[in-house]
């Protein structure tokens, strides 16, 4: 009896069952970012937003915000980076067709 190929459930790839996002959470970073945002009167708001959203590029947002945020354009760029969509990661699964071993029939 030949083995039938395995099929994924309908919509499994669309629902992200085989992939994921870059989203991660660090409570220490979130608290630290919001405390510094309050102390700087909102200057570090893009970094706090990126940390709260769990963006993997929150360090880049913090650096752009810190070094170029004093220009209005730098602050807006950091804010756009923080509010952007999470990057999708896709896992590649390779299916190998291995024949099934059937032991000889014994009477």
| The three-state (H, E, C) secondary structure of the chain, written as one string | CCCCCCCCCCCCCCCCCCEEECCCCCHHHHHHHHHHHHHCCCCCHHHHHHHHHCCCCHHHHHHHHHHHCCCHHHHHHHHHHHHCCCCEEECCCCCCCCCCCCCCCCC
- Tens digit of each residue's pLDDT (9 = 90 or more) over 48-97: 999 999 998 999 999 999 999 999 999 999 999 999 998 877 777 777 77
Note the pLDDT of residue 20: 66
Residue 41: inside a domain: yes
Would residue 19 count as lying in a domain?
Answer: no
Residue 6 lies in a domain: no
Between residues 98 and 65, which one has the greater pLDDT? 65
Domain assignment present for 92: no
Per-residue pLDDT band for 102 (boundaries 50, 70, 90) equals: confident
- The angle formed by the CA atoms of residues 19, 6 and 92, to the nearest 5 degrees, is 25
Do the domain assignments include residue 65? Answer: yes
Domains held by the chain: number: 1
pLDDT band at 42 (very low <50, low <70, confident <90, very high): very high
Residue 102 covered by a domain: no
Range of the domain at 30: 25-86
- The percent of residues above 90 in pLDDT, for the chain, comes to 53
Assess if residue 37 is contained within a domain. yes
pTM: 0.63
Residue 63 inside a domain? The answer is yes
């Amino acid at each position: 009896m030949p083995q039938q190929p395995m099929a994924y459930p309908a919509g499994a790839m669309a629902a992200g069952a085989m992939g994921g996002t870059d989203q991660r959470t660090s409570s220490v970073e979130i608290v630290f970012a919001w405390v510094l945002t309050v102390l700087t009167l909102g200057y570090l708001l893009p970094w706090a937003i990126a940390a709260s959203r769990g963006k993997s590029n929150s360090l880049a947002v913090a650096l752009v915000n810190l070094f170029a945020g004093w220009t209005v354009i730098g602050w807006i760029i950091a804010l756009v980076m923080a509010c952007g969509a999470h990057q999708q990661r896709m896992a590649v699964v390779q299916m190998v067709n291995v024949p099934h071993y059937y032991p000889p029939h014994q009477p």
